[in-house]
Amino acid sequence: MARKTHALIDLNALHANYALAKAHAGASDVIAVIKADAYGHGMVEVAKALQNRTSVFAVAFLDEALTLRQNGIKEPILLLEGPMDRSEIAVARANNCWLMLHTPQHLEWLEPSDIAIPNQIWFKLDTGMHRLGLSETEFLDFWQRQSPEILSDLSAHCILATHFAKADNDQDFTRQQLKSFARVQAITAMRTSYSNSPGLLIEQISADIDLPSESFVRLGISLYGGTPDSLLHPKYTQALTPVMTVKAQVLAIRTIDAGEGVGYGQIWQAPTATAIATVAIGYADGIPRFAANRMHVMCADTALPVVGRISMDMITVDVSAIAEELKVGDMLEVWGAQQRVEQVAQALETINYELLTRLSLRVPRFYINT
Ligand SMILES: *Cc1c(COP(=O)(O)O)cnc(C)c1O
């Protein structure tokens, strides 16, 4: 008998979130961002589920795209981190991958034939994020050195992109980023892509900036039902359906006396006689060790505190509230339908993105509503 701990991936929920994103995105194409194993949901399965709905996928780097190709995914794939070295450009081209160019060196590697293919070359501008991207000056220097023929190919076929640093909590900063972006767009007349999930969810941010509507939005977390950081607002949480539910199996139940501790270091002591369930999920499965005495797991709608240290394979939970009903072998929800991953993330001082992507491959994913 296998360990029953698992993650349930609801593809209906994925489809509903995709449809919602599509409705929000208006005329823009929605690129499904499935890097990092589709934020822990299983890149190949998610790609297969979205194949007939989205026309483009995005991953971080070429190796991820090649995994998709080996599994029969045919749609174009945008490589968000661009080529790692010059030779990757040819491999990317041969595999119908689009490239985000973001350093002056990338620009030197570019051949006229790369530019002639629609959508294949993306230029990333650093408009304030200061992580990846060309400065306005770097990009406009490049622009001014091109022949008229190249310039017309660039305008016709390439995409100008940027990434927001504070779209979820600072509209002034985001507007500043958009203004810088708009300056370059006005000169180059390229089609654009600038929204990720938080960008798309914020309305009216660019109402007074003269920017054409974007050709592509790049959506990750919202497809998985996650709200962007600090947008844990009913408006979003009600609209987006969590795709992943993690459930872990109760391995043992015991009652300890007042004053007794549980687990390594005995960092938690029972204030009164307490029913403790030992549950089959630990830090090797992706539960942060920081969760000790901080998070809850759910039994239906009862929240049960995780007490004591997180072990490699197990957590210990105060199940006194449901001690009568709970049996060895029962499943408790770690996050998902009963408790959103955002709530767990808040309790652990992290974000849904981190919890989802760190769920280890030891936790099998089961797909429903396929
Ligand atoms: C990961 C990523 C996205 C998707 O972001 P979400 O917040 O998950 O929607 C979009 N654009 C770039 C450049 C990214 O790296």
SS (H, E, C) 77-121: EEECCCCCCCHHHHHHHHCCEEEEECCHHHHHHCCHHHHCCCCCE
Ligand 1 near 163 CB (within 6 A): yes
Q: Which residues are CB-neighbours of 326 under 8 A, at least 6 positions away?
A: 250, 253, 275, 277, 299, 319
Interval between CA 359 and ligand 1 midpoint (Å): 19
Measured by CA distance, the residue closest to atom 14 of ligand 1 is 80
Q: Are 184 and 125 in contact (CB under 8 A)?
A: yes
The tens digit of pLDDT for each residue in 148-163 reads: 999 999 999 999 999 9
As a whole number, the mean pLDDT across the chain is 94
Ligand 1 near 218 CB (within 6 A): yes
Interval between CA 356 and ligand 1 midpoint (Å): 14
Interval between CA 272 and ligand 1 midpoint (Å): 47
Measured by CA distance, the residue closest to atom 4 of ligand 1 is 220
Ligand 1 near 219 CB (within 6 A): yes
The secondary structure of 141-171 as a DSSP string is: HHHHTS-HHHHHHHHHH-EEE---SSTTT-H
**CA separation, residue 13 to residues 8, 48, 242, 244, 367 (Å):** 11, 15, 7, 9, 11
Question: Which pLDDT score, from 0 to 100, does residue 168 have?
Answer: 77
Q: Are 128 and 173 in contact (CB under 8 A)?
A: yes
The tens digit of pLDDT for each residue in 263-310 reads: 999 999 999 999 999 999 999 999 999 999 999 999 999 999 999 999
Question: Which pLDDT score, from 0 to 100, does residue 365 have?
Answer: 98
pLDDT band per the 50, 70, 90 thresholds, residue 24: confident
Ligand 1 near 193 CB (within 6 A): no
Atom of ligand 1 nearest to the CA of 132: 13
Pocket perturbation via mutation, ligand 1, pick of 28, 29, 80, 236 by most ligand atoms within 8 A of CB: 80
The tens digit of pLDDT for each residue in 113-143 reads: 999 999 999 999 999 999 999 999 999 999 9
Q: Which residues are CB-neighbours of 250 under 8 A, at least 6 positions away?
A: 277, 278, 279, 280, 326, 327, 328, 329, 330, 331, 332
Q: What is the mean pLDDT of residues 81-107?
A: 97
**CA separation, residue 25 to residues 166, 171, 195 (Å):** 19, 19, 9
Q: Is 149 exposed, middle or buried (0-12, 13-18, 19+ CB in 10 A)?
A: exposed
pLDDT band per the 50, 70, 90 thresholds, residue 26: confident
Q: Which residues are CB-neighbours of 28 under 8 A, at least 6 positions away?
A: 195, 213, 214, 215, 216, 217
Q: Name the token pair of 5.
A: 């701990």
Query: Which contiguous run of DSSP H or E holds residue 235?
Result: helix 234-237
Select which of 18, 35, 224, 236 is catalytic: 35
Measured by CA distance, the residue closest to atom 15 of ligand 1 is 80
Atom of ligand 1 nearest to the CA of 228: 7
Prediction pTM value = 0.95
How far apart, in whole angstroms, are the C-alpha atoms of residue 45 and residue 113? 33
Longest dimension (CA), the chain: 82
Active site residue 74: no
Beta-strand relationship, 268-269 and 302-305: unpaired
Ligand 1 near 297 CB (within 6 A): no
Active site residue 224: no
Residue 237 gets the label, from left (phi > 0), alpha (psi -120 to 50) or beta, of alpha
Select which of 39, 74, 264, 353 is catalytic: 264
Atom of ligand 1 nearest to the CA of 221: 8
Interval between CA 334 and ligand 1 midpoint (Å): 25
- Is 204 a residue whose pLDDT tops 90? no
Ligand 1 near 217 CB (within 6 A): no
